[in-house]
Amino acid sequence: MRKNYFVTGTDTDSGKTLVSAAILRSWSHEGLATLGIKPVAAGCQWIDGELKNDDALALMAESTIELSYSQVNPIALEPAIAPHIAAAQAGVKLNADRLAAFCRGTLMRKYDRALVEGAGGWRVPLSDREPLSRLAQELNFPVILVVGMKLGCLNHALLTAEAIRRDGLVIAGWVANRAEPDMSEFDANLAWLTKAMGAPLLGTIPHLSNPTAETAARYIDLSKLI
C-alpha cells in the first residue's frame, strides 16, 4: 500500500533534508520503491544550464525511482532567501494549488513510499496570501516534524505541532536533530518534548560532523511511524 508523508521543520536548517534522505535510505533498505519531492527550493545554483538545489539533489540520490530534476523540484529559485521573496524577484507566482498539481503529477508514478519536503518552517510564506502549509493541507499527507534541537526549540516545536494540528493534519512522528552540538541540558529538553509532543519520536540524530543519509538512518526507527 502506498504511503505519503509531508516533511516540515521547526525552522530553516532544522535538518529536514538530512532526515528526509535518511528515511528514504531506510525505506530503500526495506526493498521499497521510493521517491522524494522538493516542490519549491531557494538557494539554487546553475548546474549544466539548469538551476538546481542541493536539497533536491539529496532526495534524488536517495530515491529508488529515477525522476528528472524538474519532477523533483519544479520551482527552483536562485537567491538563498525566503521563497516568496525569491519568487517575486524572479517574476514567478507561487501558490499551493500549482505546487500540489506538480506533486500529484510526479506521484502518478508507481511507488511504495513518497516524501514531500517543505521549505523553511511550517508557516513560511508562499505569497502575500498563502503560507507553504497550505500545500500540506492540499495534499492532506501525514506530517513528519523535524525539530532542530537548540536553544528555543521547545517553543518552536510546540507551536509548530499546534499549527499542524490546527490545520487539520496528523503528525505521524517527529525526529530530534541535534542542530546545536553544545546545547545545554539536551537530555532534559528531549525528555520534555517526548512527553509533550503527543506523537511518536522516530529517532534522535546526534550532531554529525559529516552528516550523511546513511549515518542518520542508523538513528531513525520507522516502525513507530503512524
Residue 55 is predicted with a pLDDT of 98
Predicted local confidence at residue 99, as pLDDT? 98
Out of 16, 38, 52, 150, pick the active-site residue. Answer: 38
| pLDDT value of residue 95 | 95
pLDDT, tens digit, 9 for 90 and up, residues 76-87: 999 999 999 999
Residue 38 known to be catalytic: yes
Q: How far apart are CA 19 and CA 31, in angstroms?
A: 19
Residue 177 near residue 14 (C-beta atoms within 8 A): yes
What whole-number distance in Å separates Cα of residue 24 and Cα of residue 60?
10
Distance, CA of 47 to CA of 64 (rounded, Å): 22
Cα(16)–Cα(89) distance, rounded to whole angstroms?
Answer: 25
The C-alpha torsion from 174 through 177 and 182 to 187, rounded to 10°, is 40
Average pLDDT rounded to a whole number, residues 119-129:
95
Alpha helices in the chain (DSSP H): 16-29, 54-62, 69-72, 83-90, 96-106, 133-139, 153-166, 186-196, 213-217
How does DSSP assign 131-182, residue by residue? BTHHHHHHHT--EEEEEE-STTHHHHHHHHHHHHHHTT--EEEEEEE--STT
- Reading the block at residue 164, the C-alpha cell is 499542524
46-98 pLDDT, tens digit per residue, is 999 999 999 999 999 999 999 999 999 999 999 999 999 999 999 999 999 99
Looking at every residue in the chain, the average pLDDT score rounds to 97
Read off the pLDDT band of 36 (50, 70, 90).
Answer: very high
What is the CATH superfamily name and number for domain 3-224? P-loop containing nucleotide triphosphate hydrolases (3.40.50.300)
pLDDT number for residue 114: 98
Helix axes 16-29, 54-62, angle to 10 degrees: 10
C-alpha cell, 37: 519531492
- Domain range annotation of the chain: 3-224
pLDDT of residue 46: 97
Q: Check residue 155 and give its pLDDT.
A: 97
pLDDT at 80 (0 to 100) = 94
pLDDT of amino acid 115: 98
Identify the pLDDT of residue 219. 98
